[in-house]
Structure 1
Amino acid sequence: MTITVGDKLPSATLVKVTPDGPDQVATDSFFAGRTVALFAVPGAFTPTCSAKHLPGFVEKREELNAKGVDEIACTSVNDAFVMAAWGKSSDADGITMLADGNGDFAEAIGLTMDGSKFGMGKRSQRYTMLVEDGVVKQLHVEEPGEFKVSSAEYLLGEL
Structure 2
Amino acid sequence: MSIKTGDKIPAVNLKKMGQNGPEDVDAASYFGGKKVVLFSVPGAFTPTCSAKHLPGFVSHADEIKAKGVDAIACLAVNDAFVMGAWGDDQKADGKVDMLADGSAAFTTALGLELDLVAAGLGIRGQRFAMIVDDGTVTHLAVEAPGAFEVSSAEAILKAL
Category of TM-score, reference length = shorter chain: over 0.9
| AA aligned opposite 2:103 | N
| AA aligned opposite 1:158 | A
Partner deviation per Cα, 1:73-116 (whole Å, 9 max, x = no partner): 00100000000000001111221000000000010010011112
Unaligned residue ranges in structure 2 (runs of 5+): none
Please state if 1:114 is matched with 2:115.
Answer: yes
Structure-2 residue corresponding to 1:54: 54
Which consecutive aligned stretches of 4+ in structure 1 deviate over 6 angstroms post-superposition?
Answer: none
Unaligned residue ranges in structure 1 (runs of 5+): none
Aligned length: 159
**Farther off after superposition, 109-118 or 58-67:** 109-118
The separation in 1 between residues aligned to 2:66 and 2:23, in whole angstroms, is 28
The separation in 1 between residues aligned to 2:86 and 2:118, in whole angstroms, is 23
TM-score by length of 2: 0.98
**SS at the partner of 1:43?**
coil
TM-score by length of 1: 0.98
The separation in 2 between residues aligned to 1:28 and 1:158, in whole angstroms, is 23
The separation in 2 between residues aligned to 1:144 and 1:51, in whole angstroms, is 18
The separation in 2 between residues aligned to 1:116 and 1:147, in whole angstroms, is 21
The separation in 2 between residues aligned to 1:85 and 1:115, in whole angstroms, is 23
Aligned-residue RMSD, C-alpha: 0.6
The separation in 2 between residues aligned to 1:49 and 1:40, in whole angstroms, is 9
5 Å matches for 1:2-151? 2-93=2-93, 94-151=95-152
The separation in 2 between residues aligned to 1:156 and 1:116, in whole angstroms, is 33
**SS at the partner of 2:39?**
strand
The separation in 2 between residues aligned to 1:158 and 1:31, in whole angstroms, is 18
The separation in 2 between residues aligned to 1:127 and 1:5, in whole angstroms, is 13
Identity of aligned residues (%): 56
